[in-house]
Structure 1
Amino acid sequence: MQNKRNSLNKVRTLQEAMTYMNNGCSLMFGGFGGVGNPPSLINGLLEKGINDLTLIGNDAGFPTIGIGKLISQGRAKKLIASHIGSNPVAGQLMVDEKLEVEFSPQGTLAERIRAGGVGLGGVLTDIGLDSMMEDGKQKVEVEGKTYLVEAALKADVAIVYAKRADEFGNLIYETSARNTNPLVAMAGKITIAEVEEIVPVGNLHPYEIHTPGIFVDVVVQSKGVDWKWAWE
């Protein structure tokens, strides 16, 4: 039994987790306005000096909080998000053509991520018809109604933040920090979870688990958050 449990242990050091991320990779992140971003992993990316990232997530965070730190320091070449208004640095980088930004309505973005996680090619939506949002996108007609085809989103690496995890990677999120994390956790070729508390397998009640460990490849102990004050 001890050997079986060891084979299910996905807990790694921050340094080991960093080996999955390299220059030019696509990186999907959980969080909303910084809340739910994994701070230790983001700081690890900064310390490793990783550049030319394609970032996929809800927003651009704040200049000095969460994913916003990567954007503010020029580590991203492209951002796919629903808005960037909370990070004026991102806006300036976009205006200066130093950051490519692909906007996607928030609900559509969430569905594109979910589609990537469950193996679909994309989703159909009427959001954006007859606007600049439809430029370059395929249209299809279903039962007499026209839709835009929005491609699914996946990433080389997905990083999420959770309150608790067991050694197999079953995750429990805390209140609003749950936000996009469950969707993001499914959509990475490699998913790394930063968590506040790690417990042995069997210590989490099955009904409490939000993300099953089958979606998680690596679990990292968090060193603490940097975003709570922004919402207090």
Structure 2
Amino acid sequence: MINKVVKDAEEACRGIQDGMTLMLGGFGLCGIPENSITELLRLGVKNLTCISNNAGVDDFGIGLLLQKKQVKKMISSYVGENAEFERQLLSGELEVDLIPQGTLAERIRAGGAGIPAFFTPAGYGTEVGEGKEAREFNGKMYLMEEWLKADFAIVKAWKGDTAGNLIYKGTARNFNPMMATAGKITIAEVEELVPAGELDPNMIHTPGIFVQRIFQGKAYEKRIEQRTVRPS
């Protein structure tokens, strides 16, 4: 079985260059590849197109890449927690493609499955549908949406083995499994790395065939985007 382990985030991110398209897993700040984002900051790569459910917050996650002006375009579904994102969008510094969340997920899944386009009713009759082909099926109008793929897909999992098989934990699963299938090169950072054969095959969410590089991350902050508690 092929050993896909690399030493750290530096080795995992080798080959990422200016102008590339990256998928970054996570939902809000949950399940984001913290170590790899830190390495992208260190590398200083610019003019990136980032495909992610959202852009993190101002001082964490993809928000850090935005602060350093490393992102040229964001393809996302929700960006409400990031003031710097808003500023760059309104000033024209950042290109933005806002997509309904289900459509974003399906476009990524389609990229991984080799399906170049599909039809969905989401967004028909709104700005989302401008310039897109529309077609009627069974009396209802649908928009044609194209797949999304990336030069690198960077995901974060709870456990992984040396062959690249991954298990995600709870809601940190979110966009990570579909993104893992849609990158030319998929990087997985995991909290716990075990030898091949130790993971229960019935529990694996991402088969190792989709992963090219895997490493054990460290010092995860796992910040909570908005903490809501009952009054004491």
Q: TM-score if structure 1 supplies the norm length?
A: 0.94
Q: How far, CA to CA, are the matches of 1:165 and 1:210 in structure 2?
A: 10
- After superposition, the C-alpha distances for 1:186-228 in whole angstroms (9 at most, x for unaligned) are 1101100010111000000101111100110000221222333
CA displacement at 1:231 relative to structure 2:
5.1
Counterpart contact for 2:30–2:224, Cα < 8 Å? no
Aligned to 2:53: 58
Alignment of 1:1-232 (within 5 A): 5=1, 8-13=2-7, 14-230=9-225, 232=227
Counterpart contact for 2:29–2:224, Cα < 8 Å? no
CA displacement at 1:230 relative to structure 2:
3.3
Counterpart contact for 2:159–2:167, Cα < 8 Å? yes
Partner of 2:64, secondary structure, is: helix
Counterpart contact for 2:50–2:74, Cα < 8 Å? yes
Counterpart contact for 1:139–1:149, Cα < 8 Å? yes
Q: How far, CA to CA, are the matches of 2:97 and 2:27 in structure 1?
A: 17
One-letter code aligned to 1:35: C
- After superposition, the C-alpha distances for 1:136-181 in whole angstroms (9 at most, x for unaligned) are 1111233343210011111000000001100000001111111110
Counterpart contact for 1:125–1:147, Cα < 8 Å? yes
Q: How many residues align?
A: 226
Q: How far, CA to CA, are the matches of 1:68 and 1:37 in structure 2?
A: 12
- After superposition, the C-alpha distances for 1:83-113 in whole angstroms (9 at most, x for unaligned) are 1111111010001111101000001110111
Q: How far, CA to CA, are the matches of 1:230 and 1:104 in structure 2?
A: 21
Q: TM-score if structure 2 supplies the norm length?
A: 0.94
Any gaps of 5 or more consecutive residues in structure 1?
Answer: none
Any gaps of 5 or more consecutive residues in structure 2?
Answer: 228-232
Q: How far, CA to CA, are the matches of 1:225 and 1:231 in structure 2?
A: 18
Q: How far, CA to CA, are the matches of 1:40 and 1:106 in structure 2?
A: 25
